[in-house]
Amino acid sequence: MNITELTELWQNQQVHLQQSMEMNKVLAKEVQTMKLQQLFSSMRPIKIFTLVVGLLWVVFVDSILVATYGIASPYFFWSALLQSTITKVAIGVYLYQLILLYQTDVSHAVSAVQQRIAHLTLSTLWVTRILFLQLPLWTTFWWTESFINGISPLAKSLLFSTVILFAAVALGLFINIRIKNREKPWFRWIFRGREWDPLVRAKELLGEL
């Protein structure tokens, strides 16, 4: 078969399909009564829920920061402030995703819609990377000056080593959580049980667009 034959074959199919295909009107009507599953609507509730929980958490942490300003330990203050800031950045990404979701109209040009969906899918990786940056802050927020001054040099060095270790892990994950590392054992271990295929496909699709 050459391309002209293929085109003819394809176009003859159209005539034949129009004659032989029977639309079941009853079933077609049924589609209207089904709960409309917009392509991306299933993503909305979980994103809205996460956004609300994130906002409540930020309000909670910020209220404590304001209420304890000047009296809380500087370790607590800076840990909580940074944690709240990182959460706000993650909330920003979620907001960006929700805006993309609401702006996506399947009747727009294919490249524009697919680009938007691919960016949306890939931005979930960003949330994970950003949230890992909080890791070392959970090892310092409970410190107080009297506690730090009161422990032995060995305990102190153990404590600081832990912070450095957590910071290195957080930074390492922030840098390396990328699609290209998806086959590596540590990546598979962290993201076990999650559906990463859409992310990989989204990356490929972006390349194609």
Partner 1 sequence: MTFNKESRTHKTDAYLALLERHKGILYKVARSYATGMEIDDLVQDICMQLWGSFERYDDRFAESTWVYRIALNTCISAYRKEKRRETSSTDAMHILHPAVDRDQERLDELYKMIQTLKEIDRALLLLYLEGKDHKEIALIMGYTETNVSTRLSRIRNELKSMTNTLNK
For partner 1, the binding residues (CB under 8 A) are: 1-3, 6-7, 9-14, 16-18, 20-25, 27-32, 34-40, 42, 105-114, 117, 121, 195, 197-198, 201, 204-205, 208-209
Rounded least distance, CB 7 to partner 1, Å: 6
Rounded least distance, CB 120 to partner 1, Å: 9
Cβ atoms of residues 133 and 68 within 8 Å: no
Nearer to partner 1, 177 or 199 (CB): 199
Nearer to partner 1, 9 or 59 (CB): 9
Nearer to partner 1, 37 or 146 (CB): 37
Rounded least distance, CB 43 to partner 1, Å: 8
Rounded least distance, CB 37 to partner 1, Å: 6
Helices (H), 104-196: 110-132, 145-150, 153-176, 185-190
Nearer to partner 1, 88 or 116 (CB): 116
A 10 A CB-CB count for 117 gives: 20
φ/ψ of 208, rounded to 5, equals -70, -35
Nearest to 194 by CA among 140, 135, 128: 128
Nearer to partner 1, 183 or 195 (CB): 195
Rounded least distance, CB 130 to partner 1, Å: 22
Q: Which two tokens stand for residue 123?
A: 């931005």
Nearest to 163 by CA among 183, 180, 138: 138
Nearer to partner 1, 173 or 202 (CB): 202
A 10 A CB-CB count for 207 gives: 8
- What's at 91, amino acid-wise? I
* Dist. CA 90–CA 128, nearest whole Å: 8
Rounded least distance, CB 122 to partner 1, Å: 12
Burial class (CB in 10 A: 0-12, 13-18, 19+), 21: exposed
